[in-house]
Structure 1
Amino acid sequence: MTTTKAYGFSTGMTANTDDYDYLNITEYEDSAAPCSLSEVWQFTQLYAPVAYILVFILALVGNTLVLCVVRRYRRSRHSPCSFSLTDTFLLHLSISDLLLALILPFFAVQWTHEWVFGVGVCKVAGALFSLNIYCGVLFLACISFDRYLAIVHAVQTGWRRNTCLAQVACAVIWVCCLGLSAVDIQFRTVVQLQGHGRLVCLIQYSTESSDKWQLAMQLLNLILGFGLPLLVMLYCYIRIFRSLCSTSSRRQKRRSLRLIITLVMVFLVCWAPYNALKMTDSLLKLGLISQTCSLNHALDIGIVVTESLGLSHCAFNPLLYGFVGVKFRRELAQMCKALLGCVGLPRWTRSQGSSRRTTGSFSSVESENTSYFSVMA
């Protein structure tokens, strides 16, 4: 059996890629002839750039709006510890998703042409990609856990003071995920594809331990990037719904149930197919599943599609965790009105609008203890 190096999002089937490399195309001998890779290569060239640019645009717009609203709110409070816990986690989630989106055009260029940015940019881009994948899902788990504490256990004592602790928790997450992304700094490089002559940015492990490294990274990705966040979300949201059932009206119960189901289902739809295919690939590596050309072809195509679906989660997060909040939409509307006023309204009208906004809900006692951007706030 002969194996080529990967040149796209990794399927984990080669010995020289990691969980977040870009496509794996595996060539091995079935009977006498090697499997054909031309269909997979042609499909990925057509599909990947379009998918990445679409995710990039949607994530850029959504997360930039979230950051603008958060910045506007923070400037009105004059304190880094004035957010609720969920607002703090949402801020870091938006930063993580935005950084992830900014990496995608580099790999879109790789697919349309080749990697033209050099080894240094390759290492940094790969590290940022892995860093923000891990950070994004862990911040989602933190948001669900904070809502669990606030709703189920009604933990509100010292709310503003505790948000500074949330900043520390976010810093710990960033540092830990940075350590996980060090694999890219160490092993990622630019290589020339055999048979195609194109330069691509990918992980290239040492030949002696490549299979062990790749299986370890796949297992780590499955646990930290999917399994653990999913368990935390399921536990927290089930407890939240049970708590709301005993205290809320029937209409509020239905609305909360729809929201909870939406949050969990979007996470599952985005990441479950990719992780299922990665698990299948791990079983192939362990020899528990027999390799065939058709199975490898299906895995190559499937992981290209499902990984782009997983990446789209960074575009869905602003919709699910920001725009769904009533107070967030209200603040966004006020920001848009202020911008429109600055463009076309007379100065005295803008001054009156600014005065009304300053004395509004920002200074209310309710806004001191509730999230402006939280789900179910």
Structure 2
Amino acid sequence: MDPTATTTDYYDGSDDDYDNNPGTEEVIATPCNQESIYGFARNYSPIVYCLVFVLAVVGNVLVLCVIRRYRNSQSGGACAFSLTDTFLLHLAISDLLLAFTLPLFAVQWANQWVFGTAVCKISGALFSLNRYSGILFLACISFDRYLAIVHAVRSGWKRNTCHAQLACATIWVVCLGLSGVDIAFKQVVPVGHNDDERMQVCQIWFTANSDQWQVSLQLVSLSLGFGLPLLVMLYCYVQIFRSLCNATRRQRRKSLRLIISLVSVFVICWAPYNCFQLADSLQKLRVVAGGCDFNQVLDIGILITESVGLSHCALNPLLYGFVGVKFRRELLKMCKEMLGQKGWVGIERLKNRRSRKSTGSLTSAESEQTSYSVMI
């Protein structure tokens, strides 16, 4: 789901499509009052979306600049670029594209959708495309770490970055296909039960079998947008944990701290949202009894937890970039080139001192694993 479907999809669907199916045999109940939900969304969503937009753009632009600088300093062409950095590059692009859609939806909730149907379809497709691709790229980075740490030490297996480019292209194509739903069904529709307070919003709109379609999309989102990537990440990091048990005590603590932070932030950001999605699907399938109070909790919960999930695109640069010693070193070099030599003597001395300590704590195998990437 996306920011455009926070309230109307859940309230309208829970009222048994009283607008779309007037001839059904069910007795149609009086629609629930949605105005409190709209008021909360108007006050909450614009601020959160704008904040995530600023943080995500600044962080991911820095990541792209550092990767570009590091890539230009390497020789051997595109296939000499590391797998980790290849996935990190695509992840940063995905997060940026996702962030660029947020101001549009911030304007929608602050006022209403004023950008037309074409922009509605394109922005909705971009949102879905990059939410799916971003999470899948996280799983690819986890798998790459698994191959580098678990297998490369034992077998010396050499990875080909051209294969990573092919994997990235496959992910973009698959996610583009998933986003085709937005192109086909996104519409600008009026919402609200009071004529004086109705507003135009950009959302997925089905003319028939609304609940069935929404449940199907939610299940796809749960599986591809959370369940499958989480299983891949958990498996990879459990194997990494077992492999790192043979590392030095200090390096093991540092590596496990990074691993725990990666998995924890991913789960913390997306698990609550997907739990509310699952609860909404169960309600639409009549497994769980609904009602106005239940739907109000769902709407507010989805609105808040979705913004937490979106914040992941702003946290990715911190988790997959700034925790890396080499990334920070490249960032300092880039800033030094931009600002000149003056004032950097003390920073260089401190940086070299820390670098010597960090290098001394690595085993030879671990140094070999991480020497090729700008991230680690």
TM-score normalised by the chain length of structure 1: 0.84
Corresponding residue number in structure 1 for 2:282: 283
1:81 is paired with a residue whose SS is helix
Kindly state the Cα deviation for residue 192 of structure 1 after the two structures are TM-superposed. Answer: 2.1
Taking a change above 3 Å as real, the CA distance of residues 197 and 295 of structure 1, as seen in their structure-2 partners, is closer
Q: How many pairs does the alignment contain?
A: 339
- Provide the C-alpha distance between the structure 1 equivalents of 2:165 and 2:333, rounded to a whole number of angstroms: 27
3-state SS, counterpart of residue 10 of structure 2: coil
CA distance in 2 between counterparts of 1:31 and 1:206 reads: 17
- In the alignment, residue 42 of structure 1 is paired with which amino acid? G
Deviation for aligned residue 1:230: 0.4
Alignment match, 2:308: 309
Question: How far apart in 2 are the matches of 1:216 and 1:27?
Answer: 17
Q: Which amino acid aligns with 1:211?
A: D
Is the 2:7–2:37 Cα contact (8 Å) retained in structure 1?
no
- The reply on whether 1:75 has 2:68 as its aligned counterpart is no
- C-alpha deviation, 1:31, in angstroms: 11
The alignment status of 1:185 with 2:183, answered yes or no, reads yes
Q: Which residue of 2 aligns with 1:168?
A: 166
**Structure 1 unaligned blocks of 5 or more:** 1-5, 17-23, 346-365
Question: Alpha-carbon deviation of 1:371?
Answer: 3.6
Preserved contact between residue 266 and residue 312 of structure 2 (Cα < 8 Å)? yes
Structure 2 distance, partners of 1:285, 1:94, is 36
Taking the TM superposition and a 5 Å limit, the aligned residue runs for 1:237-276 are 237-246=237-246, 248-276=247-275
| Structure 1 residue 370 displacement after superposition | 3.0
Q: Which deviations, in whole Å up to 9, do the C-alpha atoms of 1:156-182 show, x marking residues without a partner?
A: 5444xx101100110000001000000
The code of the aligned residue for 1:132 comes to: N
CA deviations on 1:321-347 (whole Å, 9 max, x unpaired) are: 1111110110000000101019x79xx
Residue-by-residue CA offset, 1:172-219 (whole Å, 9 max, x unaligned): 000010000000000101112243332211111131x32222111111
**What is the DSSP-based 3-state SS (H/G/I as helix, E as strand, rest coil) of the residue aligned with 1:191?**
strand
Relative to structure 1, is the Cα distance of residues 156 and 13 closer, same or farther in structure 2, using a 3 angstrom cutoff? farther
Structure 2 match to 1:55? 52
Which residue does 1:210 correspond to in 2? 210
Partners of 2:73 and 2:368 in 1: how far apart? Answer: 12
Q: Which residue of 1 aligns with 2:200?
A: 199
Give the letter aligned to residue 200 of structure 2: L
> Of 88, 98, 101, which aligns to 2:99?
101
Give how far 1:68 is off: 0.3
Which whole-Å CA distance do the structure 2 matches of 1:46 and 1:334 have between them? 42
CA contact (8 A) 2:15 2:29 kept: no
Q: Aligned equivalents of 1:279 and 1:32: distance in 2? A: 24
Contact 2:191/2:199, CA 8 A, preserved across alignment: yes
Instruction: Give the deviation of 1:125 after TM superposition.
Output: 0.1
8 A Cα contact 1:69 1:332, kept in partner: yes
The equivalent residue for 2:319 is 320
Whole-angstrom distance in 1 between the partners of 2:57 and 2:105: 16
Per the TM alignment, residue 256 of structure 1 is displaced from its structure 2 partner at its CA by: 1.7
Post-superposition shift, 1:372? 2.9
Matched residues in 2 for 1:237 and 1:109: separation? Answer: 40
Preserved CA contact (<8 Å) 1:90 1:321? yes
The aligned residue for residue 116 of structure 1 is 114
| Partner in structure 1 of residue 39 of structure 2 | 42
Structure 1 position 292, deviation (Å): 2.1
Answer yes or no: is the 8 Å Cα contact 1:15–1:205 preserved in 2: no
Instruction: For 1:206, give the aligned amino acid.
Output: T
Taking only the aligned residue pairs, the percentage that are identical comes to 59
Q: Distance in 2 between matches of 1:123 and 1:105?
A: 15
Whether 1:232 aligns to 2:229 is no
Contact 1:11-1:281 at 8 Å conserved across structures: no
- Normalising by the residue count of structure 2, what TM-score does the alignment of the two structures yield? 0.84
Helix, strand or coil at the partner of 2:201: strand
In the TM superposition, residue 40 of structure 1 has moved relative to its aligned partner by 1.2
Task: Please report how far the alpha carbon of residue 373 of structure 1 lies from its aligned counterpart in structure 2 after TM superposition.
Answer: 3.1
